[in-house]
Structure 1
Amino acid sequence: MSTHVLSENLAKVLLTRLREKNTNSQKFRETLDQLSLLLAIKATEYLEYYELDIETPLEVTPGTFFGDTPVLVPIMRAGSGMLRAFQTFMPNSLVWHISMSRNEKTFEPTFKGSTIPEMADEAAFPLIHTGFILDPMLATGGSASLAIQMLKACVTKIIFVGILGAPEGITRLEREHPDVEVILAGMDRELNKHAYILPGLGDAGDRLFPTR
């Protein structure tokens, strides 16, 4: 497994804005979308491409096209905040949602539901080449690991894309899914006793979708 962390200064500026506790929900959503655009650009390196001649107004020249239809899999709630940016560059992608909640005692995920289609007829629904799991926070790695396991039946190449990661989450994915790639905007120090990333940015879902 390899982990790529964005090094661009623009990514660092946007990540700083997300971290600040005084960033309101509207600005948080806007900034998450902007940072997700940078992650989506990096993610396109994992897609398949093909070349085909096209005609410009002046002559024929080789053109480059997407060679496969990826699937985008946001983990609800917070992963939905990254979706629009990825659809900007992958407009023909499929979208499957996975809903999970976290047990606050064990910190393990509880599966709530998904829109992943049944694969009973493999001939009618062939394997998808590339899938991107979208979730801002890679903390314990529990949600990511469960989502990856669910996709492996129908997706050949899986890439987890997040805003922040912790060493504990990376270690878990390396152990349980060494064939998966990870793209992050930043790598943080550790988890606290409540399994929140430090220094982190708080609860991404609550900051995206405040309830009070």
Structure 2
Amino acid sequence: MEKLDNVVELTHPLLQHKITMLRDKNTGTAEFRALVEEIAMLEAFEALNDLQTVDIECETPIEKCMAPVIAGRKMAIVPILRAGLGMVNGIQRLVPTAKIGHIGMYRDEETHEPHEYYCKLPSPIEERLIVVTDPMLATGGSAIDAINLIKQHGGKRIKFMAIIGAPEGVRALHEAHPDVQIYIGHIDRELNADAYICPGLGDAGDRIFGTK
């Protein structure tokens, strides 16, 4: 698809290798869950490369020195339930102090439209860098609505992380929220008639939690 200013498709070989393992229908629940966490950590390493730092005094075993730490309010990770939960631990390994919010969305099986059923965000949300997670960016509806909700609560600095996306969903999210940086592991071919990403990896929530 065409290049969009706020979309970063990540190409690191390790990341692509792990995404291929996710796609495999024979990958079991435990391995799938671990891979999602590892991919989220690799993506977060790239997505958080613009964090601001401030120097503080640090005493090593040899001497005192000035060394950088993350500046300002800590991050907020906001997974879109339920599949987005699978990415949280991977990001928390990099930023253990990050606060966790939750946004519950479900998709109408006939219209494919998202509906909100839960929203709990860390306070003060307006002072935090917010990373919204969802492994799959299909139609883009859930991501768009979740970010709308965060903005309504005062959120300003928002990034979105997905593992797999469809061109349709990437374009829709880009058009709805051009101020939000989108980080995605791979942009696939298309959505099918049931709004599933092709070739995709199936239902991420079912595969993370071992449900059908």
- What TM-score do the two structures reach when normalised by structure 2? 0.92
- How many angstroms does 1:112 deviate by? 1.0
Query: What does residue 185 of structure 1 align with?
Result: 185
Contact 2:125/2:155 (CA < 8 Å) preserved in 1?
A: no
- How many angstroms does 1:59 deviate by? 2.5
- How many angstroms does 1:126 deviate by? 6.6
Q: How does 1:142-157 map to 2 (within 5 A)?
A: 142-152=141-151, 153-157=153-157
Indicate yes or no: 2:85 matched with 1:55: no
Q: For each residue in 1:137-165, what CA deviation from the matched residue of structure 2 results, as whole angstroms up to 9, or x when unmatched? A: 00100000011111113222100001011
Q: Give ranges in structure 2 of 5+ residues lacking alignment.
A: none
Q: 1:126 to 1:181 in 2, by over 3 A?
A: closer
Contact 1:130/1:157 (CA < 8 Å) preserved in 2?
A: yes
Q: How many residues align?
A: 206
Query: What does residue 25 of structure 1 align with?
Result: 29
Contact 2:107/2:114 (CA < 8 Å) preserved in 1?
A: yes
Q: % of aligned pairs identical?
A: 40
Query: What does residue 122 of structure 1 align with?
Result: none
- Give the distance between the partners of 1:49 and 1:5, measured in 2 at CA: 25
Query: What does residue 47 of structure 2 align with?
Result: 43
Q: For each residue in 1:103-159, what CA deviation from the matched residue of structure 2 results, as whole angstroms up to 9, or x when unmatched? A: 111111011112226x7xxxxx47223100010000100000011111113222100
Query: What does residue 170 of structure 2 align with?
Result: 170
Indicate yes or no: 2:95 matched with 1:90: yes
Query: What does residue 207 of structure 2 align with?
Result: 207
Runs of at least 4 residues off by over 6 Å: none
Q: For each residue in 1:171-212, what CA deviation from the matched residue of structure 2 results, as whole angstroms up to 9, or x when unmatched? A: 111211111100111111110111111111010001111235
Q: Give ranges in structure 1 of 5+ residues lacking alignment.
A: 120-124
Aligned partner (choices 69, 89, 101) of residue 65 of structure 1: 69
Query: What does residue 12 of structure 2 align with?
Result: 8
Match of 1:210, as an amino acid?
Answer: G
Cα RMSD, aligned residues only? 1.5
Q: 58-67 vs 22-31, which deviates more? A: 58-67
Match of 2:167, as an amino acid?
Answer: P
Match of 1:25, as an amino acid?
Answer: T
